[in-house]
């Protein structure tokens, strides 16, 4: 990921919506990896400010996760239809679940809605986290199924690498859900 972002500095001339959205997804992915590592290291640690830091990092993880999924839906829509005016019309409906999720995530800064921290500063998920997974998977599925339903639009949909992109995301999030969720 770092190599892609570093190499992109030399290709600053492409300012198309698809290119900038792809770069935003790469940057979000890089930040998510860093935050996930910091969250893992801070879990259970006892130092001044540790509970607030862990809560803030986990809220940021949820916010960036839903932002990434929403950007993926925008990117897939743009790549299939190649129409920014149509995307603008659909964007308000596409972004609505993400905006609702962002508000709920911000509430988690104060209340234990999606996750909680115990006295030992250990992170645990709560039942409503299933809502976040649902919204995230709806965005990912929108981007995955759109090329299948729009094959007649243009030939580019035949080469849209949905499986290559989404398979690691699905496998990783399912494993994380099973190992860190309310069901473990």
| Start-to-end C-alpha separation, the chain | 31
pLDDT tens string 20-56 = 888 888 889 889 889 989 988 888 888 888 889 999 9
CA pair distance 37, 13, nearest whole angstrom: 33
- Helices and strands in the chain, H and E counts: 6, 2
pLDDT tens string 111-127 = 999 998 888 888 888 88
| Whether residue 184 has pLDDT greater than 50 | no
The closest of 96, 86, 91, 82 to 18, measured between CA atoms, is 82
Which run of H or E residues covers position 125?
A: strand 123-125
pLDDT tens string 84-108 = 788 888 888 999 999 999 999 999 9
Can you list the alpha helix ranges (DSSP code H) found in 49-83? Answer: 50-81
Non-local (6+) Cβ contacts of 170 within 8 A are: 140
């Amino acid at each position: 990921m770092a190599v892609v972002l570093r190499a992109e500095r030399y290709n600053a001339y492409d300012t198309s919506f698809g290119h900038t959205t792809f770069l935003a997804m790469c940057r979000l992915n890089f930040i998510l990896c860093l935050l996930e590592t910091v969250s893992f290291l801070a879990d259970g640690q006892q130092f001044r400010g540790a509970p607030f830091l862990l809560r803030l990092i986990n809220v940021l993880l949820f916010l960036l996760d839903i932002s990434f999924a929403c950007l993926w839906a925008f990117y897939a829509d743009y790549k299939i239809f190649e129409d920014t005016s149509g995307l603008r019309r659909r964007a308000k409906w596409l972004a609505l679940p993400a905006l609702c999720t962002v508000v709920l995530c911000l509430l988690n800064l104060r209340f234990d809605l999606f996750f909680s921290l115990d006295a030992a500063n250990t992170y645990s998920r709560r039942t409503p986290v299933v809502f976040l997974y649902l919204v995230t998977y709806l965005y990912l599925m929108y981007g995955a199924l759109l090329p299948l339903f729009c094959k007649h639009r243009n030939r580019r949909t035949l080469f849209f690498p949905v499986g290559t992109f989404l398979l690691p995301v699905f496998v990783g999030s399912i494993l994380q859900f099973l190992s860190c969720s309310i069901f473990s």
